[in-house]
Structure 1
Amino acid sequence: MTNSRTAFLGFMAFAGLALTAPLAHAQTGRATLDASTAGTIIAACEAYAEAHELELTIAVFDEGANLQALSRMDGAILASLEIAQWKGRTAANLGQLTGGLGAAALDRPEIYHVPGLATLQGGVPIRTVDGVLIGGVGASGADSADDEACAMAGIMAAGLTYQRAGAE
């Protein structure tokens, strides 16, 4: 009886594997932003900020606009915590520079009424070298142009880009 029970359980385990094996390959892999890369972006952005004597908060979001990493440098104003997240989340959600939204709002003022949409420079999308959107970085605490330059420096230091494929 033990041998037949063992044989039956073995058969069921084999059948279970055989049925689920094709399902394991049903989904194709896609690029994602991991914690290590988010940390690299933060560290590089902080190095850029220190070299330019800036005191910033940096927020890194993944492709689902979920916060991956957050750093408030010594001396960064408290409000920069919220503003950096606002910018980074917008960049991750829309896949474009947040400063461009401010320019677009000049012709389309309704943009200013979209809840949670950052229109200041400093939110930068994170893309793979193939142009696939995998997140966004927000920096805040300095002039908006400096915030944006810092976020871009962090992204590029991680071997990624903020541009769509084919853009120069």
Structure 2
Amino acid sequence: MSLSLSQARAIIDTALEKGRADAAQPLAVVVLDAGAHPVACVREDGASLFRFDIATAKATGALGMGADTRIIAARAANNPAFFQSVVAATGGRLALSPGGVLIRDMEGPKAGNVIGAVGISGDTGDCDEACAVAGILAAGLFHGDSK
């Protein structure tokens, strides 16, 4: 299964709804397919200049490292030199903060396979991640390591 535009829009709409319900700062949301190609993205009014870039780095980093950015950030705390090298080697396409979440397929013979990632930036990493997870679940998909 590939990630559809309608699924990406459901992820974005629900993530933004959760952000508003939680009084989050303005968010940028990026949904990428498994090849790190953009499927859909938005930047709320008032989101600061780099929010789109950070959201993209979170989603791309999750795909590139094969884990949610919360897990990657924890690993980086124990091995900062390696992860600084990864950030440099990838041209900054890895953000070491929660809010980059893998999207997994729920159906078919390849259930559980990564089909994309969502990256959100604008509030705390915890808030960004919670909005991403809410969006993924609303689209009827798995997130991170959930199965």
TM-score by length of 2: 0.86
Which has the higher mean CA deviation after the structures are superposed, 58-67 or 101-110? 101-110
Does structure 1 retain, via aligned residues, the 8 Å contact 2:99–2:120?
yes
Matched with 1:152 is 133
Bigger-Rg structure (1/2):
1
Matched, 1:81 2:62: no
Which has the higher mean CA deviation after the structures are superposed, 54-63 or 99-108? 99-108
Query: Which of 137, 148, 162 is the equivalent residue of 2:118?
Result: 137
Matched with 1:45 is 15
Distance 1:165 1:142, change over 3 A: closer
Cα separation, 1, equivalents of 2:146 and 2:100: 19
Provide the secondary structure at the position in 1 that maps to 2:62: helix
Provide the secondary structure at the position in 1 that maps to 2:142: coil
Q: Which structure has greater helix proportion?
A: 1
Which structure exhibits the higher relative contact order, with contacts defined as CA atoms closer than 8 Å and separated by 6 or more residues?
2
Supply the RMSD in Å over aligned alpha carbons.
1.4
Distance 1:81 1:165, change over 3 A: closer
Cα separation, 1, equivalents of 2:113 and 2:136: 13
Provide the secondary structure at the position in 2 that maps to 1:90: helix
Runs of 4+ with >4 A deviation? none
Distance 1:159 1:117, change over 3 A: same
Matched with 1:119 is 96
TM-score by length of 1: 0.76
Which runs of 5 or more structure 1 residues have no equivalent in the other structure? 1-30
Matched, 1:64 2:41: no
Shift of 1:111: 1.4
How many residues in Structure 1 have an aligned counterpart in Structure 2? 136
Shift of 1:38: 0.7
| Aligned residue identity for 1:63 | A
Shift of 1:165: 6.2
Matched with 1:11 is none
The superposition leaves residues 99-154 of structure 1 with CA deviations (integer Å, 9 ceiling, x where unpaired) of: 21111012222112212222111100000122110000000000111001111110
Cα separation, 1, equivalents of 2:2 and 2:29: 19
Identity between Structure 1 and Structure 2 (%)? 39
